[in-house]
A and B are shown apart, each in its own frame.
Chain A
Amino acid sequence: MKKYQLGEFEEVVMLTVGVLFNEAYGVSIKKEIENRLDRSVSVGALQTALKRLEEKGYLKSREGESNQERAGRPKKYFQITALGREAMYFTRQTREELWNSIPEVAWKLKLT
């Protein structure tokens, strides 16, 4: 059943990598998430998630250019793999199925 496992934060990271497309590296992903979702992301949490996703094969990375701002260290760009795309799609699909299965009556009930 658990064919593709993707945690909530992992899903956010995957989506953000997708949004940034060719520009997805540590700092840009962090900023993007912080801007869009209005939540603070620590470098540690982000990097752990990225490493895990890469190990699972959902992301792949390549070394990029460097600049003075980074004291000569190269950027590490991330890209979604085919497997990653499938996993994201799977997650989305299961969500949609769940959404669709909610009966109309459920929304009409006043919750207050």
Chain B
Amino acid sequence: MQKEIKPPRLFLQFFRWFCSEELLDSIEGDLVELYHERLKKEGELKADIKFIWDVLLLFRPGIIGIKNKEYKTNHIDMFRNNLKIARRTLWKNKTSTVINMLGLSIGITSCLLIALFINHEMSYDTFQPNAKRIGRVVMEYSFLGSEESEKGTFTSTKVAPVFSSTFPEVEKGIRMSKSAAILQLQGSPVTEPDFMYADSTFFDAFAFTMVQGNAKTALNGPNKVVLTESMAKKYYGDSDPVGQGLEIGEDKTMYEVTGVMEDYPYNSQFRFDFLASFSSLGQNQNNTYWNANYTTYLLLQDQNSFGSLAEKIPPFMEKESAEIGANVNFTLEPFDRVHLHSPYSDFVPNTSIDYLYMLAGVAFLILVIVCFTYINLSTAKSVERAKEVGIRKVSGAEPSQLFWQFIGESFLLSGLSVLVSIVLVYLFLPGFNNLINRQLQLDDLLSPVFIGFALSLVLMLSLIAGAYPALILSRFQPMKVLKGVFKNTDSAKWLQQSLTVFQFGISVFLIIATLIVQGQLNFIQSRDLGYDREHIVSFPVGWSTDFQKVNTLKKELKSNSQILEVSRTGSSPVSIYSGYSMNLPTRPENEVIAVNGNPVDENFIQVTGLELLAGSNFTEQQVRQTYSEGDDDLTFNYIITESAAAKFGWSPEEAVGKEMILNDQGTVVGVIKDFHFQSLRNDIQPLVLFTASWGGRLLVKINGENIPETLDFIEKTWNKVLPEMPYSYKFLDEDYTRMYQSEMQLGKIMNLFSTIAIILACLGLFGLSSYLIQQRLKEVSIRKVLGASTFQILNILSGSFVRLVFLAILIASPIAYWAMSLWLDDFVFHISAPWWAVAVAAGVTLAIGLLTSGVHGIKAALSNPVKNLKSE
């Protein structure tokens, strides 16, 4: 049998695809007939070509009719129609539209702001190309015989060189140290707070962009400094800084500017304006594991080195620390986990990932409230839309079409809200930045990630919030609906009520949490710490500024009647974190006790108002004994706290006159009451005050009657006596507040967002009650006609809402109480979670619930029954 030759399949298929249905058969027949005729006359090739040509020429309007085209156009029309209906419905129900829009916009704005914040915190250090293989060194040490150990990111200068020569995994070690430095700007001293010393290996490990100068050599050798662009501008204007000299420090050491680099990114765990060579610190670079005042980073070969180093370091350090009478060990923190996961803040305060989770939780709760409001309002309104659904169904609408119609409505609404909230974010961002003390950029909002986030938010909101009402509406039975005996189903009512309970539960939770956070913050603010911090001004005076000069300054200052007392000290009583070890001459040399120490003069106790329990204060003579012009022996005296005395087994009275060792041997002259010289997160620790002719801080107690005038006087005196030191001051109570910055921020953010959440919940209840009461207008009217009083009606109408609010309080209070107790446990000194917080939250929520539902209730109760009854 002869093989049948057919026209080119592909083009026949193409023709079948585009040709309109009623023409297809006859034209295809014509084409095939022609093909066979040509096949006989002209051969296969020509027949094929002519066939293809014919098909292509048939591809023209009039012939083309894509299959199912009537359905396609229908979809577009339906979409347009749905959009129109959605617009009209939104416009018609202005109250619920406004409530929903307002709620959604505020909710989405909150979410976007929180997302921006979280995004910013997550972005820390991500720009570092080597982030995965850099480790930050954490030191842990304890003295022999002592069980307490100290842990932190302080390391000595020895760690970097020893580790990089001992362990092949360590490629480079980078030592860094940041301090404030005094620079000369046009002849006058200026304190630059961000002066960083770093090894030249900085450029091997970290990201940087050099504008001028050679990174390879910029930090080789002492007294070299690289400026950031903004500093180059500040100090040299438009002239070329490279090669110039810069006077740095109290002794005006000449540094050579060897380069200019771009300003360091804000989202980095270290920031600086100046980068000076580490070798400039010269004399400090001795070979000991003590003097741990620097931060060390290690550039490793790869990520696996973390594991192998964790095994190798402990045995190595055990050998190394055998001779020094203490256990010293080092661990490594992955660089990219420092900002969010490390408990040790170094150059830049860390943010705990827990706070981010908390914020994300709050954002989520706000969204939940908003969604619930939407669901509640649309199910409540569903009675009104029931007729529309009935008619649509009778005209042949499928449930799925109706479902998508209602989803489309919620999509339109949430899309509009997102647009509004982007504008709101734009308006509120500066204020929010102020509140959280960050510099969030609006540009982040326009990044693809964020636009994606906003879009998915719209999609999610419209699906989650719209799905239930859409499902309910699309399932209505047209028969029932159109007969007019339609009411909300029991399940819908049940859902409405549980959602309301949930919303108010969230509000109650947030109110309680906010109150407790505030309570704890107030407690911190007002707690008697054992010392006085009112009206004390603190000045940086220079750690080794001449004793006599400072004494002159002290005397001149005291001549003013507004100034009560002046003291020079190492640290202010707000935070003393200098670790020392103390011992007795009678005990074995290596059985030392870890203790905090602070160098002070004879006025320290008067200025800070510490309470002496036994013995006496230091005398001026005793302080002078620590000052030597030649190489006389220095004599030290000590005042210890009662808990420090207890470490030696002494009562306060016993301690006075005893000899003890803190670096040097000396006599205990007095014992003071314990006081909080560290964060309230920590327990009270033992402390030794020792006489010293040095100290970096000048504390001035003023009587606070005329603060500006007093400060003015201090500045004048200062410039006369200490013109080489920049004048700057801080109030001690502000310093103290700064210690709890992250808690304060948390408090502020919690305040803000819980207020928002409560407002949103109220909005929801407001809308819901208005609809539910409208549906009961007839019932209310009949009751009135039969003689019910306004109060009775109000009782009936609001009673149901109040019951819901009560239930919410019952459910949420224990949860909030429990969760906040956990948070409080983080502080050693804390308030006990107060029951009054629960009472206040309950009261506030009830009042708000009553008020919002009462407004509609009263309106309904006062309305004229004739008006409501005459229709129908």
Contact = CB atoms under 8 A, between A and B. Distances in A.
Interface of A: 25-27, 30, 42-45, 47-48, 51-52, 63, 66, 69-71, 73-76
A63 B26 CA distance: 8
A39 to B, nearest CB: 15
B609 to A, nearest CB: 104
Contacts of B53: 42
B58 A47 contact: yes
Given A25-B30, A47-B23, 15 more contacts: A42-B53, A43-B31, A44-B57, A44-B59, A51-B63, A63-B26, A66-B29, A69-B36, A70-B29, A70-B30, A70-B33, A71-B28, A73-B26, A74-B25, A75-B30
Interface of B: 23, 25-34, 36-37, 53-54, 57-60, 62-63
Nearest to B54: A43
A45 B28 CA distance: 15
Nearest to A67: B33
Contacts of A27: 30, 33-34, 37
Best-surrounded residue of B23, B27, B33, B59 (most CB of chain A within 10 A): B33
Contact of A26 (B27, B59, B62): B27
A51 B36 CA distance: 24
A45 B29 CA distance: 16
Nearest to A49: B62
A92 B139 CA distance: 110
B57 A45 contact: yes
B3 to A, nearest CB: 15
Contact of A51 (B29, B54, B62): B62
Given A51-B23, A74-B25, A75-B26, A43 B58 contact: yes
A46 to B, nearest CB: 9
A61 to B, nearest CB: 8
A66 B25 CA distance: 11
Contact of B27 (A43, A45, A66, A69): A43
Contacts of A74: 25-26, 29
Given A69-B32, A69-B36, A70-B33, A44 B26 contact: no
Nearest to A66: B29
B751 to A, nearest CB: 74
Contact of A48 (B32, B54, B63): B63
Nearest to B20: A51
Question: Which of B25, B27, B30, B34 has the most chain A CB within a 10 Å cutoff?
Answer: B30
Contacts of A43: 27, 30-31, 34, 54, 57-58
Nearest to B26: A76
Contact of A75 (B29, B34, B57): B29
A73 B57 contact: no
12 contacts: A26-B29, A27-B37, A30-B30, A43-B31, A44-B57, A44-B60, A44-B63, A52-B62, A70-B29, A71-B28, A71-B29, A76-B29
A25 B29 CA distance: 10
B32 A47 contact: no
Contacts of A69: 32-33, 36-37
Given A26-B27, A73-B26, A73-B28, A44 B33 contact: no
A53 B32 CA distance: 23
A30 B33 CA distance: 12
Nearest to B58: A44
Nearest to A68: B36
Contacts of B54: 42-44
Contacts of A44: 54, 57-60, 63
A75 B28 CA distance: 10
Contacts of A47: 23, 27, 30, 58, 62-63
Nearest to A29: B30
A73 B23 contact: no
A71 to B, nearest CB: 5
A70 B33 CA distance: 5
Nearest to A71: B32
A51 B61 CA distance: 11
A109 B742 CA distance: 109
A42 B53 CA distance: 9
B568 to A, nearest CB: 103
Nearest to B61: A48
A69 to B, nearest CB: 5
A26 B30 contact: yes
A18 B713 CA distance: 120
B545 to A, nearest CB: 100
A90 to B, nearest CB: 24
Contacts of A52: 62
A52 to B, nearest CB: 7
A70 to B, nearest CB: 4
Contacts of B58: 43-44, 47
Contacts of A48: 60, 62-63
Contacts of A30: 30, 34
Contacts of A70: 29-30, 32-33
B34 to A, nearest CB: 6
